Amino acid sequence: MNDVVIAPSILSADFGKLNEEIAQVERETAFLHIDVMDGHYVPNITFGIPVVQSIRKTSKMVFDVHLMVSNPMEFFEPFAKAGADMLTFHIETVEDPDQAIAAIRKLGKRVGMSIHPDTPIEKILPYVTKCDLILVMSVRPGFGGQSFMEDSLARIAKVREVVDAASADTIISVDGGICDQTAGRVVQAGANYLVAGSAVFSNEDHAKAVVELLKCARS
């Protein structure tokens, strides 16, 4: 992926009118970030398979499902069947990351691997070129609206080094605290896929917020 993209996170959307919320952002971007939380790996619960199935009926966006659950291996298949295009699991939640990668590949879906801010970034580097997307969390997973953790910039840069050294095209995603002030800086550090929840959905005009973020990301 050469250009930068914004992937709105529906965590901050109004769930009472989710389809409308998604339709608004679909006008400006092709990627939708979907946060699944189990109340165990993270201290919060969101939604699961039936919700993905239901929004799949009306949206053509690329569904990027971020699994913040303790046992992601059990859920690759149900989420794939529900309409996920990319499945991202946390490296901390699997015994054998290679096995998890293979399981997602077998389902014909794109593979994402994420890393918690408390986990040394070196842990994920051996897997960078084996995945389609590496998600560097820039807040502690669990809630929207938190402040960006500054040390994420150096972590993104390390992943970027590995991707470039291998001339790979692994997407580098960043999730948490992305706003007009941080978007340009994470891109400079090497990210090219920016997840944004509150920055998009707290603006009444969600589509306009996506355009503005993209402008900041490119500047």
Diameter over CA atoms, the chain: 45
Place of tokens 């890393």: 115
Q: Given the complex with ligand DX5, which of 91 and 168 has the nearer CB atom?
A: 91
Nearest distance, CB of residue 164 and ligand DX5, angstroms: 25
Q: Are 131 and 162 in contact (CB under 8 A)?
A: no
Helices (H), the chain: 18-26, 49-56, 76-82, 97-106, 152-165, 180-189, 198-201, 206-218
Nearest distance, CB of residue 133 and Zn ion, angstroms: 12
Q: Given the complex with Zn ion, which of 66 and 155 has the nearer CB atom?
A: 66
Q: Of Zn ion, ligand DX5, none, which one sits near residue 173, judging by CB under 5 to 8 A according to partner kind?
A: none
Q: Given the complex with ligand DX5, which of 54 and 203 has the nearer CB atom?
A: 203
Given candidates 12, 37, 66, 185, which one binds Zn ion under the rule CB under 5 A? 66
Q: Of Zn ion, ligand DX5, none, which one sits near residue 156, judging by CB under 5 to 8 A according to partner kind?
A: none
Q: Of ligand DX5, Zn ion, none, which one sits near residue 176, judging by CB under 5 to 8 A according to partner kind?
A: ligand DX5
C-alpha 68/C-alpha 56 separation (Å) is 20
Q: Which stretch binds Zn ion (CB under 5 A): 32-40, 45-53, 54-62, 79-87?
A: 32-40
* 3-state SS class at 142: coil
Residues recognised as catalytic: 35, 175
Cβ neighbors of 51 (< 8 A, separation 6 or more) are 18
